[in-house]
Structure 1
Amino acid sequence: MVNIRDLDPSASPLDFYGSELRRVREAASLKQYELGKLIYCTASLIGQIETARRVPTRDFSERVDAALGTGGFFSRLVGLVLRVQLPVPVSAYAEMESRATYISTFQVHLISGLLQTPGYARAVLAARTLVDLDAKLEARLERRQILEREDAPLTWVVMGEAALHQEIGGREVMGNQLAHLLSLRSREWLRVQILPFEAGAHTGFAGAFTILRFEDDQDVLYTEDFLQGYVTANPQSVRESYVRYDQLQAAALSVEDSAARIARVMEERYGHRPGLDGRAVA
């Protein structure tokens, strides 16, 4: 867990918000659980916001202002927090992902992280660095456990067809990866669509993105560059991402036709044909 004393309040509005919440709470001689009782939330939520691991909502900010008598300070500050795209480490994103009730993700050239096999994930991670590769792989695979939960989030994945053809880890790894995608068809809360080459120009050229929806929090948009990931809860950005995602879904093949396309590429490009259970048969 991030220690609040290690946070740089000037790093981002989210870090500043977290450090100020802690400062004002301690000035009022309140423990996290005591403030939680006053504003009807858990101590864990307050801790996550104070350590910049969770984006505060406007409702949360208004309740803090009322409880601590801060004259609307946090209600004003949260507007800045929500408008700015915030850098987040992988661990912080994984925590948000694990709480989401609905995940909508688009990938251009890669299989979505939640759907990656160990062999494929290792090859992707190794392309970036070999430092702590086993630990990074373990963390990547651990994220997949949310799909095994009884209350698994409704997960909708749209992937460019290029992800099926980009040979990552070799033919055997790719054959098994595509077979794994086919085996997921039985998951009630998981749907995969392929955006085919013949779709031509589309709204996903700007790159991959993920929208996370929560039961008790505002939706957030997650994007990545070559250095790190970014999250924003800016309503305008989230709204625009939903429009873009709807357009990508409309341009993509149906779930059934997507499975057929995966099976075709799996056999024609990698020499594997799907068995009755979706597993690869050489």
Structure 2
Amino acid sequence: MTHINVLDPGASPLDYFGFELRRHRESAGLTQRQLGDILNYTGSLVGQIETARKLPTQEFSERADAALETGGLLSRLVELVMRSQLPAWFRQVAELEVRAIEMCTFHTHLVHGLLQTPAYARAVLGALDQEGLDDRVAVRLARQRIFEKDAPPVFWTVVSETVLRQEVGNREVMREQLAHLLSFEGNPRINVQVLPFSVGAHAGSQGSFDLFRFMNDPSILYTEGYGSGHPTADPDTIGDCSLRYDHLQAAALSIRDSAELIRQVMEERYGEQRDSLA
């Protein structure tokens, strides 16, 4: 007799997902292999997800919802699963991203995680540690689904010109990432500004930070260190960083001029023509 792992659905969102997937599959009278064939995945993968040994993807969840007629249950659960896989110190930030009506971010060396492409995220997350990289990339990209809500947040980001010129991954990865930033042109809810080198000393010289604003709750400032996050709702600190952000936006290029600089760097530094040089 084949041993069936007994999951405790209350142990974690991942265990709960596996429990519900198995319950609905068995109610439909399907084996793991049969469900895998319907979804165009292997039966082994279905088994790994049911026993909480593999993270489900959004695509897998949507296909399983359709095949098992769950009313979208698994697609809703997968968001909780992904959030639960974030480092413990970062989970509060992911909750803030979901609740915020506006975010104002300043980053000095990297594109914000909410705007990263899969290849760029993979290069960043895999710089020192390749273990579980596929899952860690999927978890980061899942946060971007906040932009698909009926009322997505307004997102403002000011990035140092360093972000454009620091080659993360390789030229192809950077070309794709900069093209992704350009894809937000004309989107009033996602606004990208570049702080050029020519500005010199600026109001963000103390480092990167994120400001979260909410409908009814006080704003929260988030800063980050190595393996730790530091949210605060202290009014004085919020006021200081809000003022700093105003000055950063004033010093940065306009949205249109920022797009032109991004386009220029993409063509001159990461352009296709360079690949053919001997």
TM-score of the two chains, using structure 2 as the length reference: 0.65
Distance 1:164 1:170 in 2: 12
Question: For residues 203-232 of structure 1, what are the alpha-carbon distances to aligned partners after superposition, in whole Å with 9 as ceiling and x for unaligned?
Answer: 212111000001121100000012211100
Q: How does 1:169-208 map to 2 (within 5 A)?
A: 169-208=169-208
Deviating above 4 A after TM superposition, structure 1's stretches of 4 or more consecutive aligned residues are none
Please report how far the alpha carbon of residue 166 of structure 1 lies from its aligned counterpart in structure 2 after TM superposition: 0.4
Determine what percentage of the aligned residue pairs are the same residue: 48
Secondary structure of 2:231's counterpart equals strand
Q: Give the Cα–Cα distance (whole angstroms) in 1 for the partners of residues 11 and 113 of structure 2.
A: 24
Q: Deviations over 1:223-247 (max 9, x none)?
A: 0012211100001111101011011
Aligned residues of 1:124 and 1:168 also touching (Cα < 8 A): yes
Q: Specify the SS of the correspondent of 1:129.
A: coil
Q: Please tell me whether the aligned partners of residues 89 and 227 of structure 2 are also in contact (alpha carbons under 8 angstroms).
A: no
Cross-structure match for 1:137: 137
Distance 2:272 2:257 in 1: 18
Q: Map 1:30-49; keep pairs closer than 5 Å.
A: none
- 1:272 Cα deviation after fit: 4.7
Structure 2 segments unaligned to the other structure (5+ residues): 1-9, 13-86, 274-278
**By how many angstroms is 1:144 displaced?**
0.8
CA distance in 2, matches of 1:257, 1:155: 18
**Which residue matches 1:101?**
101
**1:225 to 2:225 alignment:** yes
Q: Is the 8 A contact 1:88 1:228 kept in 2?
A: no
Root-mean-square deviation (Å): 2.1
Partner of 1:6: none
CA distance in 2: counterparts of 1:188 and 1:243, whole angstroms: 22
Per the alignment, residue 155 of structure 1 pairs with 155
1:3-62 Cα offsets, whole Å, 9 max, x none, are 9xxxxxxxxxxxxxxxxxxxxxxxxxxxxxxxxxxxxxxxxxxxxxxxxxxxxxxxxxxx
Q: CA deviation at 1:132?
A: 2.3
- Measure, in 2, the Cα distance between the counterparts of 1:254 and 1:216: 30
Q: 2:118·2:137 contact (CA, 8 Å) conserved in 1?
A: yes
User: What is the aligned partner in structure 2 of residue 216 from structure 1?
Assistant: 216
Q: Which has the higher contact order (CA 8 A, sep 6+)?
A: 1
- List runs of 5+ in structure 1 lacking aligned partners: 4-86, 274-282
Residue 261 of structure 1: aligned partner: 261
Determine the C-alpha separation between the residues in 1 that align with 2:200 and 2:131. Answer: 38
- Structure 1 residue matching 2:157: 3-state secondary structure: strand
1:244 aligned partner: 244
2:222 counterpart SS class: strand
Q: Which residue in the other structure is 1:280 paired with?
A: none
Change (3 A) 1:88 1:241: farther
- Alignment CA distance shift 1:108-1:2 (3 Å): farther
Aligned 8 A contact 1:212 1:220 in 2: yes
Distance of 2:229 and 2:163 partners within structure 1:
20
Question: Contact 1:88–1:229 at 8 Å: present in 2 too?
Answer: no
**Alignment pair present for 1:90 and 2:76:** no
Q: Deviations over 1:246-271 (max 9, x none)?
A: 11101100000000000000000001
**254-263 vs 124-133, which moves further:** 124-133
Q: Is the 8 A contact 2:120 2:177 kept in 1?
A: yes
Number of the residue aligned with 1:24: none
The secondary structure found in structure 2 opposite 1:152 is coil
Inter-partner Cα distance in structure 2 for 1:218 and 1:108: 26
